[in-house]
Structure 1
C-alpha cells in the first residue's frame, strides 16, 4: 500500500474548500459576540467586518506567494520550516495539530450541536443534549473523510452549495422586507464602551469568521496544479466571502437592531424567523447547520495533513502510525488524532472561548508567514514564484501590521486565553528536542 497522497484535487475543490472553511459559523453566530462587545451599537461591528475582510485579503494576497512557491503538503508549517528552519516549522505544525485544528473543529461541533438542540426545542445550554451531538458529528465526519480525500472533497463541494441558500435568502428578503433607514453605522459603540479597546475584540470575532483561508495550502500536495490554482482559490474565495459578509450583516440590521442581535445565540435564525415565520426560520436553520457541517468537514479534510506531514518527517510521537495512508488515499490515523483531540476540546462546550484561543495563536504564525514572504525574497531571490504579491512591499506590511494589532490587543485584554495558547504551543519544544535526539540515535 502506498503511503503517498494522490494528486486528485482541482481548482473547484480548492476554491470550495476556501469558501467552505471560511463561510461556516462565524457569519451566522459571531454578530452576537460583536454586538455584545459594542453594547448593542452597530457601527463598530460593521467597521470590523470591513476591516477584518481587508486585513484578510491583504493576508491572502501575501501568503499566496509562499503557498504557490512551496506547494507541498503541510501548508503553513512547510512554509515556515523552509523560511525559518525545522524547529519553528515543527512548532507551527504542533500548534495546528494539538490546538488550532482540533480546537476549531470542537468549536464548530459545539455550535452545530447547540443549533440542533434549539431546532428540536431544547436550550443551547443543555449539555446532556449538546455534548453527545457535538461528539457524534466529529466522529461521523472523521469516518466519512477516511473513505478518501476525493470523497471528502465531494462533501465539501455539496456543502458549499448548500450553505449559499440561507445566505442568499436572508440577503434578498432582508433588503426587500426589512425596514428602510435602519441604523447601520451609528452609534459606533454603546454607552460605556471605548471604541479603541473594543476594536481589538470585535476584530478577533470577525477574523474568526474570515479564518480558514490559509488551510487550503495544507492540501497543496494533493492538487493537480497548485502553482496556478492555489493563489486563485485563496484570493478569489476571500473576495467573494468579504462581499457576502458585509452585505448579509447589513441585511441583518434591516430586520433586527444590533441590541437585539446581541441577545441571541444565533442572530441569523432570529432574522430568518422574522422574515419567513417559524417554519421558514427552521428551514433556514437547517441550511445554517449544513453550512457548519461543511466547515467542519473542511477542517477534518485539511487538518490531518499536518500531523501526517510531521509523521513523514519522523518528528512527532507515533510517526509510524500517523504516516499511514489508507486505500482511499486518506491519512487515516492522523484524521483520528485530530478528531479525538477535537472531542476532548468539545467537552468544554464553549464556542467563543475556543475560537478566541485558536484565532490568537494562529495569527502569531500568520504574521511569521507574512514576514517570511519578505525574508524569502531576500534569502532566495531565484526561487520559482508562479505568483508574486502585488504592490510589494506595501501589501505584506499592511498584513503584518494588522496581524500585530490583533496579537498585541489579545495579549493585553485577554491575557489568560492568550497565555493558554502560548503554553500549549510551547509544549512542542521539548517534544521536538526529544524526537530529534531519538532520530539521531
Structure 2
C-alpha cells in the first residue's frame, strides 16, 4: 500500500482556490508597480506587461491542470515528470525542489516575515529573525495537526490579504485624479538599457510565481479531476485581475512621473494618499499577512514532493520521510524534513550572509524549475498521444494554450541565460549533483 492512500482528502474547491491565490500573492502585488514601470517606460506598457504576464501564467496553469487531471497524484510536477518521462527525470525534478528550491523559498519568506514584523513594531532586526522562526514553527505544527487546519489558515490569510488590495483598487479608481494611460517616463529613467518590455514582463512573472503549488496537493483534493482545473482557472484569474487593477489604481492615485522613483513603496504611498497616515500602516499589515499566508501555502504544498519521492523509495530514510500520522492523516515526516531544511537555510543565511543567501538560491533555481515546467507542458501532447479518448478535463483552445505556455517558459529560460548565466549554471550543477544520489538510491534503497 502506498502511503499516499492514507492521506485524507480534505481539500475542497474553496481551499484549493485560496491556495492558488495565497501561494502566488506575497509582496509582489504591493512592491512591484514601480519596478515594472521602470522597465516598461510608460504606464500603458507597464499595464500591458502585467496583462501579458497574467496570460502566460494562466496558459501555464490551464495546461498543467489537464496534466494533473490525467495524473491526479500527490507531488505535482514531480509526479507528472516521473509518470511521463520516467523515474530518473522525476527524481531530478523532486531533488531540486526538495533540497534547494522549496527550503530556499521557505527560508526567504521566514526571514522577510520576521523583518517586516520587527520593523512594524520597532523591534531589533535580531529579534525579527526569531519572530520569523517562531512563525515557521507555528505553521509547521499547525499543518502537522491537520491539513484542514492549514487550509483554514490559508482561507483566512488569503481573504485578509485581499482586503487592502481591493481597498486600493476600489478607492483608487474612485478617488484618484492622475491620468492612468499615456504617461511616458522614459526621460526620467537614468539607464536607458533598463527600458525593455521583455524585462518588464519577466518582473511580473516573478510576481506570478507559485501558480503550480496547488498541484502538489492533488492527492488530498476532493474530486481533483474537476476541482484542480477549476481552482486554477478561478485562482489565476483573480490574481491576474488583482495585479492589473491595483497597478491601474496606483497610476490613478500617483502620477507615473512620481511613481518611477518610489521603488518598493508605491502601493504604500498610494494608500497614504487615499487613507492618510494610517494608509501606509494598512498596507504594511497587508504585506505582513500576505507573507504569512504565502509561507503557510508553501508549507502546505512543498512537503508533498519529498513525501511522494519517499513513497517511491527515491530518498534515503524513505520510511521516516514518508511517515503519515494515523491520527491526523498528515505527512509528518515530510513536513518535518522540509522544516529542518528551511530552518537550516535560515540559520546559514544569517550566520554566513556572504556565502549563503536563501533569496539568491530560490532565484537561480527558477531557471531549472522552468526547464521542468516546459517538460510538463510538452508532456501534455505526449499524454494525449498515449491516452486517446475521453478526458476529465481538456485545456481550452488546444493546442494554442499549451504552445503559449511553452513559449512563456522559453522566454523565462532565455531571459535568465541573458541576465544571470552564472546563476543558471549553478542551478544546473545542483541538478547534476543529484545524479549520483539517484544512482546510489537505485542500487541500495
Q: TM-score, normalised by structure 1?
A: 0.90
SS of equivalent residue, structure 2 residue 383? helix
Is the contact made by 2:100 and 2:362 (CA closer than 8 Å) also made in structure 1? no
Is the contact made by 1:48 and 1:206 (CA closer than 8 Å) also made in structure 2? yes
1:222-371 pair list within 5 angstroms: 222-258=220-256, 260=259, 262-326=261-325, 327-347=327-347, 348=349, 353-354=360-361, 356-371=363-378
Matched with 1:50 is 51
1:10-25 pair list within 5 angstroms: 10-25=12-27
Deviates more, 1:325-334 or 1:279-288: 279-288
Structure 1 pair 354–170 and aligned structure 2 pair: CA distance change class (3 A): farther
User: How big is the shift at 1:184?
Assistant: 6.1
Matched with 1:429 is 435
Q: Could you tell me how far apart the structure 2 residues matched to 1:45 and 1:9 are?
A: 36
Q: Could you tell me how far apart the structure 2 residues matched to 1:121 and 1:174 are?
A: 29
User: How big is the shift at 1:288?
Assistant: 2.4
Matched with 1:220 is 218
User: How big is the shift at 1:355?
Assistant: 5.0
Structure 1 pair 420–343 and aligned structure 2 pair: CA distance change class (3 A): farther
Is the contact made by 1:273 and 1:281 (CA closer than 8 Å) also made in structure 2? yes
User: How big is the shift at 1:346?
Assistant: 3.7
Ranges in structure 2 where 5+ consecutive residues have no aligned partner: 351-356
SS of equivalent residue, structure 2 residue 32? helix
User: How big is the shift at 1:424?
Assistant: 2.0
Matched with 2:88 is 87
Matched with 1:175 is 173
Matched with 2:62 is 61
Is the contact made by 2:82 and 2:89 (CA closer than 8 Å) also made in structure 1? yes
Q: Could you tell me how far apart the structure 2 residues matched to 1:340 and 1:121 are?
A: 29
Structure 1 pair 175–353 and aligned structure 2 pair: CA distance change class (3 A): farther
Matched with 2:75 is 74
Matched with 1:438 is 444
What is the total number of aligned residue pairs between the two structures? 432
Q: CA RMSD in A?
A: 2.4
Is the contact made by 2:225 and 2:393 (CA closer than 8 Å) also made in structure 1? yes
Equivalent position to 1:401, from 383, 403, 407: 407
Is the contact made by 2:39 and 2:197 (CA closer than 8 Å) also made in structure 1? no
Deviates more, 1:311-320 or 1:330-339: 330-339
User: How big is the shift at 1:48?
Assistant: 2.0
User: How big is the shift at 1:343?
Assistant: 2.8
Deviates more, 1:412-421 or 1:294-303: 412-421
Q: Could you tell me how far apart the structure 1 residues matched to 2:360 and 2:310 are?
A: 30
User: How big is the shift at 1:335?
Assistant: 1.1
Is the contact made by 2:179 and 2:255 (CA closer than 8 Å) also made in structure 1? no
Is the contact made by 2:21 and 2:158 (CA closer than 8 Å) also made in structure 1? yes
Q: Could you tell me how far apart the structure 1 residues matched to 2:183 and 2:105 are?
A: 31
Q: Could you tell me how far apart the structure 2 residues matched to 1:93 and 1:188 are?
A: 43
Q: Could you tell me how far apart the structure 2 residues matched to 1:10 and 1:84 are?
A: 30
Structure 1 pair 298–257 and aligned structure 2 pair: CA distance change class (3 A): same
Is the contact made by 2:73 and 2:79 (CA closer than 8 Å) also made in structure 1? yes
SS of equivalent residue, structure 1 residue 46? helix
Matched with 2:418 is 412
Is the contact made by 2:31 and 2:265 (CA closer than 8 Å) also made in structure 1? yes
Structure 1 pair 245–352 and aligned structure 2 pair: CA distance change class (3 A): farther
Q: TM-score, normalised by structure 2?
A: 0.89
Equivalent position to 1:151, from 149, 152, 156: 149
Structure 1 pair 182–18 and aligned structure 2 pair: CA distance change class (3 A): closer
Q: Could you tell me how far apart the structure 2 residues matched to 1:60 and 1:11 are?
A: 16
Structure 1 pair 132–262 and aligned structure 2 pair: CA distance change class (3 A): farther
Q: Deviations over 1:231-268 (max 9, x none)?
A: 00011211121111100011122233555465444432
Matched with 1:377 is 384
Is the contact made by 2:321 and 2:334 (CA closer than 8 Å) also made in structure 1? yes
Matched with 2:354 is none
